[in-house]
Every structure is written in structure tokens, then in C-alpha cells.
């Protein structure tokens, strides 16, 4: 065109934003794959952190449960001549040694409803049989072999609700018969149960309780150098006496725990990390490694050891769940 004006060729686009073929097609496959890879990487990084945060929160709740129980038991001890809860037992039979007579009040606590028997005399749970035998549910009713029979759980009125009986990290319990004896395998014969917070006294049963109790302490105990362990995370075994914390070799092997170590299994409340325990002074802490070693054979340098002043103090106790 004349007069210095530019001519528009047939390939020149009109004024306005330029659009390419790629713009019209959206994201390419490569770009989508990159975005998906980035999202997957972020998920892989964040999920363990989120899982760790959830478990940390659960452990905090568990510690709070333990402190609450220690406080309730201290209220009980203040009302009961400084004795922490000990369920009544039949009269001491004849023919026992002096040591056996001294230990008798703390013996066989598991036969009086276990830990659940401190809160309920009517343990129906889910209504199913208690183990692989034909044991009827609700067997604890009237089971206290005393004269006259006990009609009220000893901890009734000292705990508000039953939510504190369950650790939020507890996903499995092995329900074993009260007739399980040394030499039998509670872990392999019991029924796996799903713990849940009891909503009524009838639902207070061993598999709905995540903790064990060490019976036989007093508020002012001259045989102790420090606060005594009262209440804390159980193991998924027959937690009675020396069998507690996988003390039975057969149960330990079945659960993948090295025998004679009293360590925790991967299926226990907090896995192999340890367990939370409350003490007579009300504080609670996580005990790692072997709880049995810490409390009973931890040596004279461990203030949690109850046998420092009296090497036989633990003979007058009973661990049970």
C-alpha cells in the first residue's frame, strides 16, 4: 500500500492476544504427571507426620486417663485407712507359711473379676462367651467369695463415667478365661476383641479396659523410697503376677516378643514403644523397655523399683488386668 502504510499479509493475525495450539489444548500429559507426582510426594511426606501427631494426641489422652485413675484411687485410699483398692478375699486358710499369710490378701485378685471387678459385678460385655470355652457372660455376678458376699464394686462412686478405662490407642485385646493357669497359653486360646469405652456398668469387662493394676500399696508405705506404680497400659497377654508384660514364654513367642524380656509387643496399646503408668503421687509417665524390670528388678539406682528397701515388697503385691 502506498503512503508508507504497511500492508497486511494473508498470514497476519488481527490485533488481540495470541493463542497457540498448546493454549487451546490445556495441560499436557507430562504436566499432569508432574502434578500427580508432586501431590504423591507431599502425601508421602505428610502422612507419617499426621499419623505421628494422632498417636501423640492419643498418648496424651492415655496419660490423662492414668492420672485420673491415680487421683480416684487416692480418694479411695484416703477413705480406706490409706490402702489403695484391694478386693476382699476369703478367709486365710490354715497351713500357710508366714510369707504366704502376709501375701494372702493380695493373692488371686484376678479371680474376683480382675480389674473390671473393681467397677462392675455384672460383666456382660458384648454378650458373647468370655473365651474359647463355653464360659457364660456375666460370670462375675456374686463371684466375690466372702461372707457376706460383696454386693457393691469397691471403686463405685470414685470414678465419674468409664471413658478413662480405655486407651484411645488400644485396638486389640485378647479375652482369656479366668481359669487360665500357669503353663497354659492365654494368648493363643483367647478371643481377639475390639475394645470400646463402656457406656454402662454391664459393658465394664476386661477387654474394654486397656490397663492393669498393681494391688497392695498404701499411701504411706515405709518400704518405698518413692512413688509406687499403680495403674497403666496392659499387654495383650495374661497380665497376672509374674506372667504380666509377656512374662509367660509361650505367650511371648506367640506374640513375637523375645521371652524373659517383659517387653511390649507391636499389638500392645502403644506398640513396642512402652506404656504409660500412673504412680501413687498422681504423676504419670511413659515407661520404655521392660515395665517389670523398672518396677520390680530395676536395681537400687532406679527410684521406680519397689524392692529397694525391702527386697520382698513385690511379693505382697499382685499385678493383674
Residues in CB range of 229: below 8 A, 6 or more apart? 214, 277, 278, 279, 287, 291, 294, 295, 304, 306
CA distance 211 to 277: 9
Radius of gyration for the alpha carbons in the chain, expressed in angstroms and rounded: 30
Summarize pLDDT for 43-55 with one digit per residue, the tens: 888 777 666 778 8
CA distance 267 to 252: 12
Residue 3, class by beta-carbon neighbours within 10 Å (0-12 exposed, 13-18 middle, 19+ buried)?
exposed
Query: pTM for this one?
Result: 0.79
CA distance 278 to 284: 4
Mean pLDDT of the chain: 83
Among residues 243, 236, 119, 232, the alpha carbon closest in space to that of 176 is found at 236
The grid cell for 204 is: 465394664
Summarize pLDDT for 61-81 with one digit per residue, the tens: 999 999 999 999 999 999 999
pLDDT at residue number 150: 73
Residue 218, class by beta-carbon neighbours within 10 Å (0-12 exposed, 13-18 middle, 19+ buried)?
middle
How far lies 157's CA from each of 1, 153, 160, 198, 266, in Å?
105, 9, 7, 16, 35
pLDDT at residue number 114: 85
Contact by Cβ (8 Å): 233, 275 = yes
Residue 307, class by beta-carbon neighbours within 10 Å (0-12 exposed, 13-18 middle, 19+ buried)?
buried
Running along the chain, 321 residues long, what does each successive block of 10 average in pLDDT? 47 51 65 86 77 84 97 96 88 82 80 86 74 43 56 90 96 74 69 91 92 95 93 94 92 92 95 97 95 88 91 92 91
pLDDT at residue number 146: 59
Residues in CB range of 287: below 8 A, 6 or more apart? 229, 232, 274, 275, 276, 277, 294, 304
Residues in CB range of 285: below 8 A, 6 or more apart? 63, 276, 277, 279
Three state DSSP letters for 56-91 = HHHHHHHHHHHHHHHHHHHHHHHHCCCECCCCCCCC
Amino acid at each position: 500500500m502506498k503512503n508508507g502504510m504497511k500492508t497486511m499479509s494473508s498470514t497476519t493475525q488481527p490485533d488481540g492476544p495470541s493463542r497457540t495450539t498448546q493454549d487451546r489444548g490445556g495441560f499436557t500429559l507430562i504436566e499432569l504427571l508432574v502434578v500427580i507426582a508432586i501431590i504423591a510426594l507431599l502425601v508421602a511426606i505428610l502422612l507419617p507426620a499426621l499419623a505421628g501427631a494422632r498417636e501423640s494426641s492419643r498418648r496424651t489422652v492415655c496419660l490423662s486417663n492414668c492420672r485420673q485413675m491415680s487421683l480416684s484411687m487416692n480418694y479411695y485410699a484416703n477413705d480406706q485407712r490409706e490402702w489403695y483398692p484391694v478386693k476382699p478375699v476369703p478367709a486365710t486358710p490354715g497351713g500357710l507359711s508366714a510369707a504366704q499369710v502376709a501375701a494372702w490378701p493380695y493373692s488371686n485378685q484376678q479371680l474376683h473379676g480382675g480389674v473390671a471387678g473393681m467397677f462392675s459385678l455384672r460383666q456382660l460385655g458384648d454378650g458373647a462367651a468370655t473365651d474359647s470355652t463355653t464360659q457364660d457372660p456375666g460370670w462375675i455376678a456374686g463371684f466375690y467369695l466372702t461372707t457376706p458376699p460383696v454386693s457393691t464394686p469397691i471403686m463405685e462412686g470414685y470414678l465419674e463415667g468409664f471413658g478413662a478405662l480405655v486407651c484411645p490407642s488400644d485396638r486389640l485385646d485378647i479375652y482369656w478365661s479366668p481359669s487360665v493357669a500357669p503353663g497354659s497359653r492365654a494368648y493363643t486360646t483367647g478371643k481377639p476383641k475390639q475394645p470400646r469405652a463402656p457406656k454402662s456398668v454391664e459393658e465394664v469387662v476386661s477387654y474394654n479396659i486397656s490397663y492393669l493394676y498393681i494391688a497392695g500399696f498404701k499411701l504411706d508405705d515405709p518400704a518405698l523410697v518413692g512413688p509406687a506404680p499403680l495403674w497403666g497400659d496392659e499387654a495383650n497377654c495374661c497380665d497376672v503376677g509374674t506372667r504380666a508384660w509377656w512374662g509367660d514364654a509361650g505367650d511371648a513367642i506367640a506374640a513375637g516378643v523375645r521371652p524373659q524380656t517383659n517387653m511390649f509387643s507391636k499389638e500392645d496399646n502403644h506398640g513396642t514403644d512402652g506404656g504409660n503408668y500412673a504412680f501413687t503421687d498422681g504423676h504419670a509417665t511413659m515407661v520404655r523397655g521392660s515395665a517389670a524390670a523398672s518396677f520390680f528388678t530395676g536395681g537400687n539406682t532406679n527410684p521406680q523399683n519397689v524392692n529397694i528397701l525391702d527386697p520382698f515388697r513385690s511379693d505382697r503385691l499382685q499385678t493383674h488386668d
